């Protein structure tokens, strides 16, 4: 039995700081995705919304919020919160409903209106919340976490700030070609090196911004797609949302300690590599089959980690790939041809959906100046807080 679902529509609201509600952005993205699919809102059988924790009180959640904004029409509704993996979990929920026969057409939407500066936890005392604790106990903002990972790469693999800067240069060049990106100006390595230090060794241009933005997908059964005359749609073949395995032997915020490995041997590979491995296994594919990848470049150094985690190279070899130009547009395996978070910034519930939008356009061959020639298979990957993460494999 096939577990593929069709991507009939993909749409975005451009990223930036627009000063409007997340509802405005998500509704615009949803309408764009419906138009791309050639479907009416009334044909949607279910809506899955990826939540933003900044979107008001618990009754103001994404699934019903977007259904109301588009106009009540009786569709099923689901809302999902899973930190940075919210969008991928929304895709997984939509796919499950389609494969279960509960709906032929599901609209997936994620949107955010992010605060200025770095993300911080909501107010109040929550000693059982590891995110709240890492601020209270360590004073560790996200850039501090990114800086720790960068230092670890420097110590273990000999990477340097000049390697990290090449990631920004690559992604800014791709983002300059993307009309939905917030930052559309090429950047030089010298400009990265001249930007202010934020969390040593990372500079301002090594770290992604927080942004407003939205993305949406229209997913359908393969039978519905064929009935609408789409014989060869982009298909989602796998969605991985596995959790970490015990013991954790690397510090991974918001956790503020590692587990003891005295009695239990660590699992092979990292949590991030487990996300990709599960997706490959479900899809029946491997990294050698990839045409492109979209990964969560919260910082330039973290993108190099992802090269290794999704199997593009061995441990410690990520910097070699970017130095060779292998992951740039026109390279052997382009990574973040959208421009990545370096060009978009972070709109948390939308970003995993936006990654699949980019895979869709690339696999259709409609990505314009940033098109990856002959793209047939793509993977997206991200990691969020609390053991959340995802990998999605799309094929054509």
Which DSSP category does 210 fall into? Answer: B
Cα separation of the two ends of the chain: 18
CB 166 within 8 A of CB 335: no
Mean pLDDT of the chain: 94
Instruction: Give the separation between CA 114 and CA 111, rounded to whole angstroms.
Output: 10
Checking if the pLDDT of 121 tops 90, the result is: no
Give pLDDT, residue 145: 87
Residues 6+ apart with CB under 8 A from 358: 294, 337, 338, 367, 380
* Higher per-residue pLDDT: 266 or 74: 74
Give pLDDT, residue 255: 78
Give pLDDT, residue 286: 98
Give pLDDT, residue 2: 83
Give pLDDT, residue 14: 97
Continuous segment of H or E residues that includes residue 53: none
Checking if the pLDDT of 52 tops 90, the result is: no
Name the band, by pLDDT with cuts 50, 70 and 90, for residue 60: low
3-state secondary structure 279-337: HHHHHCCCHHHCCEEEECCCEHHHHHHHHHHCCCCCCCCHHHHHHHCCCCCCCCCCECC
pLDDT tens, position by position, 354-372: 999 999 999 999 999 999 9
* Higher per-residue pLDDT: 357 or 54: 357
CB 162 within 8 A of CB 139: no
Instruction: Give the separation between CA 116 and CA 275, rounded to whole angstroms.
Output: 30
Q: How many angstroms from the chain centroid is the CA of residue 18?
A: 21
What's 130-205+236-395's CATH class?
Answer: alpha beta
Instruction: Give the separation between CA 314 and CA 305, rounded to whole angstroms.
Output: 10
CATH 3.10.20.30 fits 5-116+213-234, yes or no: no
Domain with CATH 3.40.47.10 in the chain: 5-116+213-234, 130-205+236-395
3-state secondary structure 343-365: HHCECHHHHHHHHHHHHHHHHHC
Token readout for 87 is 């969008």
Give pLDDT, residue 59: 59
Give pLDDT, residue 56: 57
Give pLDDT, residue 73: 97
Give pLDDT, residue 109: 98
Instruction: Give the separation between CA 5 and CA 234, rounded to whole angstroms.
Output: 8
pLDDT tens, position by position, 294-332: 999 999 999 999 999 999 999 999 999 999 999 999 999
CB pairs under 8 A, 24+ apart, for 133-137? 133/254, 133/256, 134/253, 134/254, 134/255, 134/256, 137/256
Name which of 139, 387, 149 is nearest 255 in CA terms: 387
Name the band, by pLDDT with cuts 50, 70 and 90, for residue 57: low
pLDDT tens, position by position, 242-294: 998 888 887 777 777 888 888 888 888 889 999 999 999 999 999 999 999 99
Give pLDDT, residue 86: 94
Instruction: Give the separation between CA 212 and CA 21, rounded to whole angstroms.
Output: 9
Checking if the pLDDT of 198 tops 80, the result is: yes
- Strand pairing partners for 390? 382
Round the CA-based radius of gyration of the chain to a whole number and report it.
20
pLDDT tens, position by position, 139-161: 888 899 899 999 999 999 999 99
Instruction: Give the separation between CA 335 and CA 306, rounded to whole angstroms.
Output: 10
Instruction: Give the separation between CA 234 and CA 4, rounded to whole angstroms.
Output: 9
- Strand pairing partners for 6? 220, 235
pLDDT (mean) for 61-73: 94
The pTM of the full predicted model, rounded to 2 decimals, is 0.96
* Higher per-residue pLDDT: 44 or 124: 44
Name the band, by pLDDT with cuts 50, 70 and 90, for residue 58: low
pLDDT (mean) for 228-235: 96
Token readout for 208 is 């992604």
């Amino acid at each position: 039995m096939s577990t593929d679902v069709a991507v009939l529509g993909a749409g975005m609201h451009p990223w930036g700081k627009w000063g409007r509600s997340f509802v405005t952005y998500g509704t615009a993205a949803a309408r764009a995705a419906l138009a791309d699919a050639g479907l009416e809102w009334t044909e949607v059988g279910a809506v899955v919304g990826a939540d933003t924790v900044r979107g008001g009180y618990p009754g103001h959640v994404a699934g019903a919020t977007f259904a109301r904004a588009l106009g009540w029409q009786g569709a099923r509704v689901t809302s999902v919160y899973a930190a940075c993996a919210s969008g991928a979990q929304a895709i997984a929920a939509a796919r499950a409903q389609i494969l279960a026969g509960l709906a032929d057409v599901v609209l997936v939407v994620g949107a955010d209106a992010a605060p200025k500066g770095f993300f911080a936890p909501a107010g109040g005392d929550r000693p059982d919340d590891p995110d709240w604790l890492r601020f209270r106990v360590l004073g560790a903002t996200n850039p501090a976490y990114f800086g720790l990972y960068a230092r670890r790469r420097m110590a273990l693999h000999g990477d340097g700030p000049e390697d990290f800067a090449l990631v920004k240069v690559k992604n800014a060049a791709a983002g300059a070609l993307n009309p939905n990106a917030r930052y559309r100006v090429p950047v030089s390595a010298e400009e990265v090196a001249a930007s202010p230090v934020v969390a040593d060794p990372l500079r301002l241009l090594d770290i992604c911004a927080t942004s407003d933005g939205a993305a949406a997908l229209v997913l359908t059964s393969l039978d519905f797609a064929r009935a609408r005359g789409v014989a060869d749609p982009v298909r989602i073949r796998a969605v991985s949302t596995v959790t970490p395995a015990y013991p954790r032997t690397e510090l991974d915020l918001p956790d503020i300690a590692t587990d003891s490995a005295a009695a239990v041997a660590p699992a092979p590979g990292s949590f991030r590599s487990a996300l990709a491995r599960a997706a490959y296994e479900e899809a029946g594919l491997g990294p050698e089959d990839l045409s492109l990848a979209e990964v969560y470049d919260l910082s330039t150094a973290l993108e190099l980690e992802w090269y290794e985690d999704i199997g593009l190279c061995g441990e410690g070899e990520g910097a070699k790939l970017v130095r060779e130009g292998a992951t740039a547009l026109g390279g052997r395996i382009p990574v973040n041809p959208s421009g990545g978070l370096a060009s978009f910034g972070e709109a948390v519930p939308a970003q995993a959906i936006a990654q699949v939008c980019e895979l869709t356009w690339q696999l259709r061959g409609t990505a314009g100046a940033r098109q990856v020639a002959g793209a047939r298979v793509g993977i997206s990957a991200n990691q969020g807080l609390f053991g959340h993460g995802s990998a999605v494999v799309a094929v054509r």
